[in-house]
A = this chain, B = another copy of it.
């Protein structure tokens, strides 16, 4: 089994590549749920859905979220009713959130619901939330404390972030199977996701970080930053505000206690020395994934580094 820790967009690209290189049933994906939120009373799990839609082959390749070709009739009507529409949910996507909310309301856990939705979409890989308990990524800014989607989507990550809180993390537990999968994995992959707001919430669930440190298998991370800027989103800014370098070196520092190898971009090759000094083996390559060929190439390299 290959365990992948992942946020949304960037992680999903690597997962798409991996799913073409190993049998789907061998993938055990631990998804970030710190971004989950209630929108119009519905439970939205943006990262879990991006991963599921990607593996189901229905993700929107342009936008990086949602379902390809989706329509927005429901959202337009909701806006007419005075509801907020800054988070764009398409009609097909709404069905996912309606179904998830209904099943959670019946008492199913988020793991069970996520498995059920993935099965219905024909996804064979295991997609598992980091926890069945609610852990909420909150960003403390001069404008006040913001939920992740409010910071990221509504306010377009323009606020200065003073600190990040994972509300509820201390009372949470890893979802069933997560610790066992990490312990038994042939390799563990940390996707090219935001270290602080995508991988950070997963690591904040008690037990997961320790399990990664103690795992016998190789742990390989892919940098979400190349040449001083995130491949997408605000990773560089958040690293800086956390007192870390806005570069693969900051990523290495954030992961130094459990990552063996960090894939970085060739343009950051000058950081190989400082990264190695942290006890993390750097591996320079082309980490951008503009198309399926690049996704598969990077996935093969990850597997090769893992010795698989």
Residues of A within 8 A of B (CB): 40-42, 70-71, 73-78, 80-83, 91-92, 94-96, 98-99, 101-102, 105, 116-117, 120
Bound-state Cα–Cα, A42 to B99, Å: 10
Assuming A71-B71, A82-B120, A120-B82, is B105 touching A77 (CB within 8 A)? no
Bound-state Cα–Cα, A95 to B250, Å: 44
Assuming A73-B73, A74-B74, is B81 touching A40 (CB within 8 A)? no
Q: Which 8 A-B pairs have the closest CB atoms?
A: A77-B95, A41-B102, A73-B91, A81-B99, A78-B95, A81-B120, A74-B95, A40-B102
Assuming A78-B95, A80-B120, A95-B78, is B41 touching A105 (CB within 8 A)? yes
A76: B residues at CB distance < 8 A: 95
Closest residue of chain B to A97 (Cβ to Cβ) is B98
Bound-state Cα–Cα, A81 to B102, Å: 11
* Candidates B71, B73, B91, B95; contact of A81 at CB < 8 Å: B95
A78: B residues at CB distance < 8 A: 95, 98-99
A116: B residues at CB distance < 8 A: 81-82
A99: B residues at CB distance < 8 A: 40, 78, 81, 83
Closest residue of chain B to A120 (Cβ to Cβ) is B81
* Candidates B77, B80, B83, B91; contact of A102 at CB < 8 Å: B83
Bound-state Cα–Cα, A9 to B91, Å: 27
